[in-house]
């Protein structure tokens, strides 16, 4: 996360955006899981801070401390001035520090976002006549996974290949359609295509995203050491121990 993004989050929460800005923000929330996760974290931290420092005198003292921390850790040219309450500005500028202070000892489990690399799809190089496939590739690569799903489904009705199935499954996972994604990856896992090991890795990520750490570890242990990204598999296994 970064300071400019905190300011954007606060503007949204305080109703200080135009209709167009708000619509754009909400569209990003629905299409970008990482952005949405950061926004949830921001809200949770602010809620905890407000609960902890509800009295004005305590809040003012804490605000001064946060301002000092902000000056120390974000010593750079100030961005554009935004109409934000000082209390929230100080909190926003220091969220990264606060998150570590409040949660470091309580959240030792690995995060889905740390291992989530959907990659890029390149179908149109081999099929420039399938309009649905062209749109599926475009929306996937723009990280509009929810929008890509129906186009993949339209393609798969007439052309079911392991490659298209795989990127369809990834789109489902990114959009948190867990049951459908699991079905797709299980089918690929049972086959003999080059996407077999990739499907296993994504099944592990599916469990990780749902915070099923035991299930994630069990799947990781079935991935062959010949898998091209096995270093990341081992890294996640170590993080789960």
Kindly report which listed range (111-115, 128-132, 155-159, 175-179) carries the lowest average pLDDT score.
128-132
How many domains are there within the chain?
2
96 and 78 inside one domain? yes
CA 204, CA 66: separation in Å to the nearest integer? 39
86 and 166 inside one domain? no
Q: Tens of pLDDT along 135-190?
A: 999 999 999 999 999 999 999 999 899 999 999 999 999 999 999 999 999 999 99
3-state secondary structure 79-118: CCCCCCCHHHHHHHHCHHHHHHHHHCCCCCCCCHHHHCCC
92 and 156 inside one domain? no
146 and 80 inside one domain? no
- Is-above-0.75 flag for pTM? no
Q: 154-159: which pairs have CB atoms within 8 A and are 24 or more residues apart?
A: 155/130, 159/130, 159/133
Kindly report which listed range (47-51, 72-76, 136-140, 221-225) carries the lowest average pLDDT score.
72-76
User: Residue 45 has what pLDDT?
Assistant: 77
Task: Quote the domain boundaries for residue 59.
Answer: 3-103
62 and 129 inside one domain? no
pLDDT for residue 88 is more than 80: no
80 and 129 inside one domain? no
Q: Identify which of 24, 30, 29 has the alpha carbon closest to the alpha carbon of residue 149.
A: 30
93 and 164 inside one domain? no
118 and 218 inside one domain? yes
7 and 64 inside one domain? yes
């Amino acid at each position: 996360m970064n300071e400019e993004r905190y300011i954007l989050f606060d503007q949204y929460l305080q109703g200080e955006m135009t209709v167009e800005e708000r619509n754009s923000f909400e569209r990003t929330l629905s299409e970008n899981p990482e952005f949405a996760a950061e926004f949830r974290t921001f809200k949770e931290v602010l809620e905890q801070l407000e609960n902890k420092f509800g009295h004005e005198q305590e809040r003012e003292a804490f605000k001064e401390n946060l301002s000092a921390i902000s000056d120390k850790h974000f010593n750079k040219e100030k961005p554009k001035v935004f109409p934000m309450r000082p209390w929230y500005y100080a909190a926003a500028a220091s969220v990264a520090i606060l998150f570590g202070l409040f949660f470091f000892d309580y959240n030792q489990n690995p995060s889905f976002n740390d291992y989530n690399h959907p990659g890029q799809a390149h179908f149109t190089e081999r099929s420039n006549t399938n309009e649905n496939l062209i749109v599926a590739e475009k929306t996937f690569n723009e990280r509009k996974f929810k929008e890509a799903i129906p186009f993949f489904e339209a393609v798969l009705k007439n052309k079911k290949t392991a490659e298209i199935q795989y990127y369809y499954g990834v789109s489902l996972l990114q959009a948190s359609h867990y049951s459908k994604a699991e079905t797709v990856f299980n089918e690929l896992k049972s086959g003999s295509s080059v996407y077999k090991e990739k499907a296993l890795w994504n099944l592990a990520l599916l469990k990780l995203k749902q915070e099923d750490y035991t299930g994630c570890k069990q799947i990781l242990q079935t991935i062959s050491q010949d898998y091209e990204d096995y270093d990341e598999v081992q890294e996640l296994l170590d993080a789960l121990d």
